[in-house]
Homo-oligomer: A and B are copies of this chain.
Amino acid sequence: MSEILGSWIDGVPGTMVPFDDRGLQYGDGLFETMLVRNGRVRFLDSHLDRLEDGCERLGIPLVVDTSLRVEVLRTAAVAPDRAVLKLIVTRGSGPRGYAPRGQFRPRRVMTLSAASPLAVTAEGASLRIARQTASENPALAGLKHLNRLENVLACQEPQHEACFDALLLDRAGQVVGGTMTNLFICRGGTMVTPRVDRAGVAGVMRGIVLRECGTLGLPVEVRPIAAAELALADEAFVTNARIGVVPVRNVGEHVFRMNEIGARLAAHIETLDA
């Protein structure tokens, strides 16, 4: 329940979006959720790269240029010590019909919110397996697009109040990720995180963790994780741009016995500049 500190439509302070925006009509757009720390956006390049890639895949003619970067940086500069900057980019307004006919002017909807403290104890986050499954679509996989009903439904399931996030499985029973996080597990010193080429989101923090594993010489694999494999893992952690790296205490009944690598990565990434 984050307090909204400001909102901007196409760079201008405002709160209203036209009804014919294709983001509303069809979920035709993308978003980035960025952490602002001491007036700076963490991993801004990674966020803008993913946004540009997503726009290219969806055919949204957004120009990710200096002016967009400056718009984000200026907003971050007036933010409190820790804040969340959410940037939605839609294809823009257009006539009725799925086919995006004619020229479009993508719309930017930016929101700055206070970063509320994480509801995670020192023992780590408590996760559950969602009943809701993640559907598979290679054309949309990896994108942080606006079609998020599966996540909404997963979050609506009854759950213990201490539950931090729910893990979605695909139809084959393989872990896709949390509704708002990517999952890593550790087995015998090797970290594993699911592929995101059939479902799931290619989280910016997931990318940072993969990169920093290389830097730190920590072995990591990107491959499918069957739900049954969770109980074989020594430890697990979840990631996203806002929370960084958060050790997982348990998934359902299974309590992980360590959280060393997750804690080490969390501390390391916290020290990275930006």
Q: Are A27 and B146 in contact (CB under 8 A)?
A: yes
Stretch with Cβ within 8 A of B (4 or more), from A17-25, A42-50, A187-195, A212-220: A17-25
Quick check: is A129 within 8 A (CB to CB) of the other chain?
Answer: no
Complex Cα distance A149/B9, Å? 22
Q: Are A28 and B148 in contact (CB under 8 A)?
A: yes
Stretch with Cβ within 8 A of B (4 or more), from A136-144, A254-262, A266-274: A136-144
Q: Are A149 and B155 in contact (CB under 8 A)?
A: no
List CB contacts (< 8 Å) of A103-161 with chain B. Answer: 109, 111, 113, 132-133, 135-137, 139-140, 145-156
Q: Are B16 and A156 in contact (CB under 8 A)?
A: no
Nearest Cβ in chain B — how far from A257, in angstroms?
A: 29
Q: Are A19 and B2 in contact (CB under 8 A)?
A: no
Give the secondary structure class of A's interface: mixed
A99: contacting residue among B16, B27, B136, B156, CB under 8 A: B156
Q: Are B1 and A101 in contact (CB under 8 A)?
A: yes
A58: contacting residue among B17, B23, B58, B149, CB under 8 A: B149
**How many chain A residues have a CB neighbour from B under 8 Å?**
59
Complex Cα distance A19/B90, Å? 12
Q: Are B19 and A7 in contact (CB under 8 A)?
A: yes
Q: Are B156 and A100 in contact (CB under 8 A)?
A: yes
Q: Are B96 and A24 in contact (CB under 8 A)?
A: no
Given A25-B88, A150-B140, A152-B26, do A95 and B19 touch, yes or no (CB 8 Å)? no
Q: Which B residues are in CB contact (< 8 Å) with A18?
A: 15-17
Q: Which B residues are in CB contact (< 8 Å) with A156?
A: 59, 99-100
Q: Which B residues are in CB contact (< 8 Å) with A100?
A: 152, 155-156
List CB contacts (< 8 Å) of A147-195 with chain B. Answer: 147-156, 171, 179-180
Quick check: is A4 within 8 A (CB to CB) of the other chain?
Answer: yes
List CB contacts (< 8 Å) of A64-94 with chain B. Answer: 84, 86, 88, 90
Q: Which B residues are in CB contact (< 8 Å) with A154?
A: 98
Nearest Cβ in chain B — how far from A262, in angstroms?
A: 23
By a beta-carbon cutoff of 8 Å, the part of chain A in contact with chain B is 1-2, 4, 7, 9, 14-28, 31, 58-59, 84, 86, 88, 90, 95-101, 109, 111, 113, 132-133, 135-137, 139-140, 145-156, 171, 179-180
